[in-house]
């Protein structure tokens, strides 16, 4: 269980005390919170930048790829860990996408 805590802390930067409990439900809650936060940031940023039809097409393709990639990681994990792995993957990839978009649209 301590390894899962290190993975979660590194992946999400979570400092919520429940994230340190080592309990599966708490870890899942922290991973879900991290994903929702990353997704909200991503959506806010995407709405703030101009996009061409090509960029919209690329964004849709990225979303499909992210979901498929995290689904594959999720499947490989198995058991109760599946949701944690999927949510952590979604959060990480979404944060990376925000960084990519920020670099692309910087003046």
The enclosing domain of 82 has a CATH number of 1.20.1270
Instruction: Copy the structure tokens of residue 81.
Output: 């860990």
Mean pLDDT, the chain, rounded, equals 83
Which residues span the domain enclosing 86? 2-105
Segment 21-27 shows an average pLDDT of 75
Instruction: Give the separation between CA 46 and CA 79, rounded to whole angstroms.
Output: 34
pTM for the predicted model, two decimal places = 0.78
pLDDT of residue 79: 77
100, 65 in Cβ contact below 8 A?
no
The proportion of the chain whose per-residue pLDDT surpasses 90, expressed as a percent, equals: 53
Tens-place pLDDT, residues 39-81: 999 999 999 988 899 999 999 999 999 999 999 887 777 777 8
- The tally of domains found in the chain comes to 1
């Amino acid at each position: 269980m301590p390894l899962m805590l290190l993975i979660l802390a590194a992946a999400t930067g979570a400092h919520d005390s429940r994230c340190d409990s080592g309990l599966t439900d708490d870890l899942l809650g922290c991973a879900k919170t991290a994903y929702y936060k990353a997704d909200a940031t991503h959506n806010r940023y995407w709405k703030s930048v101009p996009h061409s039809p090509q960029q919209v097409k690329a964004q849709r393709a990225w979303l499909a790829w992210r979901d498929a990639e995290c689904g594959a990681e999720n499947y490989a994990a198995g058991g109760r860990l599946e949701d944690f792995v999927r949510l952590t993957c979604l959060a990480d990839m979404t944060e990376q996408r925000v960084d990519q978009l920020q670099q692309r649209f910087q003046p």
